[in-house]
Amino acid sequence: MSTPATPAVVLVGPPGSGKSTVGRVLAERLGLPFRDTDADVEQAAGKPIPEIFVDEGEPHFRQLEREAVRAAATGYAGVLALGGGAVMAEETRALLAPLPVVFLEVALGDAVKRVGLDAPRPLLAVNPRARWRELMEARRPLYLEVATAVVDTEGRTPEQVADAALEAL
């Protein structure tokens, strides 16, 4: 039996850390495909994430997210970006343990700038700055737990972050 495919790089970090943008650059650099668990979840549910939160609630979203991570972590050989809250699941952290995982560090100001221009996030719908801070405080130890490398995104372009990630791995 052949060994199952596993991701070449996994990107974790809070909303607004640039996981998808940096992931696409990394994928191009490595000549590999790019995949994002948020997109996998939306495809599985047949609707955008904010609608999953409204119609079925966050626990259902988290279940779909765990399934998306499991499928990608055990059967996909490209670059993988995880939704910002995916590391909250113990099963996900265990699946990430043997993989090269880069934590993209970002300061609140930069994250809010990016998030404000990007897709809507249900968890940041009200009081985004305070919520982001709360989420980051709770999750930072989990990002650090799964990370094999930490890359600071402050003042760096996605290309520079991708290069730093490749160097750090």
Kindly tell me which residue out of 7, 18, 78, 84 binds ligand S3P, with binding defined by CB under 6 A.
Answer: 84
- What's the CA gap between 131 and 20, in Å, rounded? 21
Q: Which of residues 122-151 bind ligand S3P (CB under 6 A)?
A: 122-123, 135
- What's the CA gap between 93 and 101, in Å, rounded? 11
Three-state SS string over the chain comes to CCCCCCCCEEEECCCCCCHHHHHHHHHHHHCCCEEEHHHHHHHHHCCCHHHHHHHCCHHHHHHHHHHHHHHHHCCCCCEEECCCCHHHCHHHHHHHCCCCEEEEECCHHHHHHHHHHCCCCHHHCCCHHHHHHHHHHHHHHHHHHHCCEEEECCCCCHHHHHHHHHHHC
- The answer to whether the annotation marks 75 as part of a ligand binding site is no
CB-nearer residue toward ligand S3P: 122 or 158: 122
CB-nearer residue toward ligand S3P: 8 or 81: 81
Binding flag, residue 23, ligand S3P (CB under 6 A): no
Binding flag, residue 38, ligand S3P (CB under 6 A): yes
Least distance CB 3 / ligand S3P (angstroms): 29
Binding flag, residue 35, ligand S3P (CB under 6 A): no
Binding flag, residue 83, ligand S3P (CB under 6 A): yes
Contact window for ligand S3P (CB under 6 A) among 89-97, 98-106, 118-126, 154-162: 118-126
Q: Please enumerate, by residue number, every residue annotated as part of a binding site.
A: 16-21, 38, 62, 84, 121, 139, 156
Q: Which residues bind ligand S3P (CB under 6 A)?
A: 15, 19, 38, 49, 83-85, 121-123, 135
